[in-house]
Chain A
Amino acid sequence: MAVAAVHSGGIAEHIHPEPQGFVRRYVFSLDHKIIGIQYIITAFVFFMLSGLLAEAIRTQLLNPNGGFVAPGTYNEVYSVHGSAMVWLVIIPLLTGGFGNLVFPLQIGARDVAFPWLNMLSFWIFPVAGLMLFSSFLMGAPTAGWMEYPPISLQGAAGTSMWCAAIFLVGVSSTITGINFVVTILKMRAPGMTFTRMPLFVWGQFATAPLLMIATTALAAALAALFIERQFGVPFFDPTKGGSPVMWQHMFWFYSHPAVYIMILPAFGIISEVLPTFARKPVFGYKLIAFSSMAIALLGFMVWAHHMFTSGLAPFLQLPFMILTYIIGVPTGIKIFSWTATLFGGKIHYSTAMLFAIGFIGLFTIGGITGIFLAAIPFDLHVHGTYFIVAHLHYVLVGGSLMGVFAGMYYWFPKMSGRLLNETLGKIHFWLFFIGFNCTFLPMHWLGMLGMPREVATYDPQFTFWNRFESVASYLMTFAILIFFVNVLWSIRNGRRSGPNPWGARTLEWQIPSPPHYYNFKHIPTVYGLPYDFSQPLPYKGLEEELTDSPPPVAAGVH
């Protein structure tokens, strides 16, 4: 009880009773680590499904006149592919998944602020996911992931299901966002000041308000679309006085910040992996942390760059163009700082590190084409073409998904106590890297030369490159298959990792893998940044973590 006295028995010291029984432990668990893993598993299942839809897209596009599925079905396929990848895969993986799993450990907390809400927001997610996929049974949405009315008002019944499903995912995200903000503000270990937080925590801290605020705006848009479709209440239908462009404002006011929801946590992952394997402090810690906040803030002010062709007045478009350019500056700071982090390092090439470096290389391409798109005259040419598809996959697959893979290789030992197989990992990386570039690079010129997006058939002059992309995408599928095989194999047979296989210095690595349900025996005290490899670890109170001694207050509170 000595420790409890020192810390006066506050919530930080509070230890939940150990969950008993399978259901309380693994199904309706309150433990942020288990919830994180639940998110990761569920999201990967949805990833397989929406990846298979992606391969259906590519198979259809092998031939200029399609033929794999009917045009109507094709539209359903890419709409669900886009929606599912965004809302059921990348966002849950990066926030609910890695966020839950890692950041409470990194700030030295025993759990998030509201474990019950955490469980609730997890359980909403698979339900919503099943709803989204079940829309195939009643005619899935066809108007893309942005469902512009009026065409989405004509869509089959599944479009309403889509609204409801995305609304629910949104509720789940909002709860997660609130939970994370409060956790980071209130539950940091003593001494864990804002300027000592690991960068992954900063990534989550910048993302959580976006989850909280932007997602609610989307909820309003979805609710309006839903009631318009179901009850004929006019918001968007121009024949009844509504405005289709208003949907675009409401949708993009969420969905532009959403792209930063999908990248800021990935930035965080990269900022953890790079210093660990380069054996060097991350370069420019403060600017990296600050730029995440700047990106999150600027992210709210640029939504209309998706609407340059929808007839806004020019004087309204101008500020959006320039603010969008400006986002390149904080993002550039990150890219340059990461590159500089490698300078003078002793780089160990684990698979996680390969993915991290690949991330920088590929995301930068997507970012630079993003800046191109922000230039109105250029966007007037390529909006609605495969150039956009290229941009979005470079940032989302080359960026977010690569970040997810880096995170998986990096934190898998923390989840399971075993390492992923590195040989398979490296095969995965290289096949994925090559397959990815061959799939999405040609889309840039296809778009510039006249291939519109969301088409089931296309002009025969584009046949060669489309076939090339499709074949390359099969290679990518194969690479991902290797990844799944690796995960399934390593859970049982992987090499045991021990608490800290990478010699990393953030708090989560100072405790056993997988951690005890109470995370820390004693809440540590922090007196410095984690990334300084020449110094001893900047933590006090961790001595007993790796011993067999029981946690001191476990019996006390209850």
Chain B
Amino acid sequence: MSVAAIGADAHGHVDQLYVETRELRLQGFLLFLISDCVLFSSFIFAYLYLRNSGQGWPPPGIQRLDVAFAAWNSVVLFGSGATMHYALENFKHGNFMKYMRFLLATIVLGAGFLGGQAYEYNHLIFGEHVTWWGSGIFGASFFTLTGMHGLHVFLGVCYLTVLVLQSAAGVYTKGKFFGITAGTLYWHFVDVIWVVLFSIFYLI
């Protein structure tokens, strides 16, 4: 039974079934985020472990990271977190057009972040010192973690695009917008992970 199929009755009351389904899904989704978080944590553990087991960091012969560029790129991502927040708020308050605009902004910023990441990868791989996935523990942990994060952003962008289409088709109503809530949660989650990744790769 899809959520959309359970319509509110003629008086605009949301039925009990929907409310409870939403609660279940919310909880399930939060638990999913927790286990996703464990996935990242394990790789972060691996990175920190390798970093501390070796002969000093970063290992010689790798391309240095461009911290300033990555910082700007992070700002783009965090900006998208803010726009996503406003999108949800506006939807809740019934400002549909504003909601759509913020949602589209989020998508653009998310895609922008991905573009920045692609630029950065390009710089590393074809830079002065070739630094790629297989070329040492730095490449292994950096590309695995940021790649995994990038994949999350990419999936998020796809999902938000679906949200745009669905919203345009009127799937979400004032009482029923779990899809948007989930998207927001997910997007914030991806942001928070990036805070951690940025700190451990660029700052320490």
Interface set of A (CB-CB < 8 Å, partner B): 8-12, 14, 113-114, 117, 174, 177-179, 181-182, 185-187, 212-213, 215-217, 219-221, 224, 227-228, 231-235, 240-243, 246, 249-250, 253, 557
Nearest to B139 among chain A residues (CB) is A233
Q: A11-B17, A250-B45 are in contact. Are A179 and B36 (CB under 8 A)?
A: no
Whether the pair B140, A9 counts as a contact (CB closer than 8 A) is no
A185 with B46, Cβ < 8 A, contacts A9-B16, A212-B35, A234-B140 known: no
- Please report the C-alpha to C-alpha distance between residue A285 and residue B36 in the assembled complex, in whole angstroms: 34
Give the docked Cα–Cα distance between A425 and B24 (Å). Answer: 41
A117 → B minimal CB distance (Å):
8
Given A14, A113, A117, which contacts B17 in the complex, CB threshold below 8 Å? Answer: A14
Contacts known (A113-B28, A213-B38, A227-B144); A233 close to B50, Cβ less than 8 A: no
- Per the CB 8 Å criterion, the residue count for chain B at the interface is 36
Please tell me which one of the listed residues A113, A114, A185, A234 contacts residue B134 in the complex, with CB atoms under 8 A apart: A234
Give Cα A220–Cα B41 distance, bound, in whole angstroms. Answer: 9
Once the chains bind, are A186 and B23 in contact (CB under 8 Å)? Answer: yes
Chain A proximity mask over B26-59: 1 for CB below 8 Å, otherwise 0: 0110011011101101110110011001100001
Tell whether A220 pairs with B24 under 8 Å between CB atoms, given A234-B134, A234-B136. Answer: no
16 A-B pairs, CB-CB below 8 angstroms? Answer: A9-B16, A10-B16, A10-B20, A117-B28, A174-B35, A186-B23, A212-B31, A213-B38, A216-B42, A233-B139, A234-B136, A235-B137, A241-B59, A242-B50, A242-B140, A249-B49
- B35 near A250 with CB under 8 A, answer no
Say yes or no: is B133 at the interface (Cβ < 8 Å to chain A).
yes
Tell whether, in the assembled complex, residue B35 and residue A224 are in contact, meaning their CB atoms are under 8 Å apart. no
Q: What are the residues of chain B within 8 A of A240 when measuring CB–CB?
A: 136-137
> In the complex, are the beta carbons of B17 and A9 less than 8 A apart?
yes
CB pair A233 B133 closer than 8 Å: yes
How many residue pairs between the two chains, A and B, have CB atoms under 8 Å in the bound complex?
111
Q: A212-B35, A216-B42, A250-B42 are in contact. List 7 more A-B contacts (CB 8 A).
A: A8-B16, A178-B31, A216-B35, A216-B36, A220-B38, A220-B42, A242-B140
Cross-chain contact A241 with B50 (CB below 8 angstroms)? yes
Residues on A with C-beta less than 8 A from B21 are 11
User: What's the least CB distance linking B8 to chain A, in Å?
Assistant: 13
Tell whether B89 is near chain A: CB-to-CB under 8 Å: no
Q: Is B66 an interface residue (CB 8 A)?
A: no
**Distance between A454 CB and nearest chain B CB, rounded to angstroms:** 26
Cross-interface CB contact of A182 among B27, B35, B36, B134, cutoff 8 Å:
B27
- Report if B15 contacts A (CB, 8 A): yes
- Output the least CB separation between A356 and chain B (Å): 32
Q: Which of B21, B24, B27 has the most CB of A within 10 A?
A: B24
Q: Find chain A residues with CB under 8 A from B45 CB.
A: 249-250
**Which residues of A have CB within 8 Å of B42?**
216-217, 219-221, 250, 253
Query: Within the assembled complex, what's the spacing in Å between the Cα atoms of A215 and B136?
Result: 27
Q: How far is the CA of A182 from the CA of B20 in the complex (A)?
A: 12
Question: What residues on B are CB-neighbors of A177 within 8 Å?
Answer: 31, 35
Chain B residues near A12 (CB, 8 Å)? 20
Residues 116-150 of B contacting A (Cβ, < 8 Å): 133-134, 136-137, 139-141, 143-144
Partner of B28, one of A8, A182, A217, A241: A182
Note all chain A residues with C-beta closer than 8 A to B15.
Answer: 9
CB-based contact B43/A186 at 8 Å: no
Question: Complex: how many Å from CA A233 to CA B137?
Answer: 8
In the bound assembly, the distance between CA atoms of A233 and B142 in angstroms comes to 11
* A220 contacts across to B, CB distance below 8 A: 38-39, 42-43, 46
Contact A179 B28 (CB under 8 A): yes
Which 8 pairs, one residue from A and one from B, show the smallest C-beta to C-beta distance? A220-B42, A11-B20, A216-B38, A10-B16, A241-B137, A216-B35, A178-B31, A217-B42
User: What is the distance, in angstroms, from A156's C-beta to the closest C-beta of chain B?
Assistant: 21
B134 touches A232 (CB 8 A): yes
Which single residue of chain A is at the shortest CB-CB distance from B55?
A241
B31 to A224, Cβ gap below 8 A?
no
Q: Which residues between 56 and 70 of chain B lie within 8 Å of chain A, taking CB atoms? A: 59
Chain A residues with Cβ under 8 A from B41's Cβ? 217
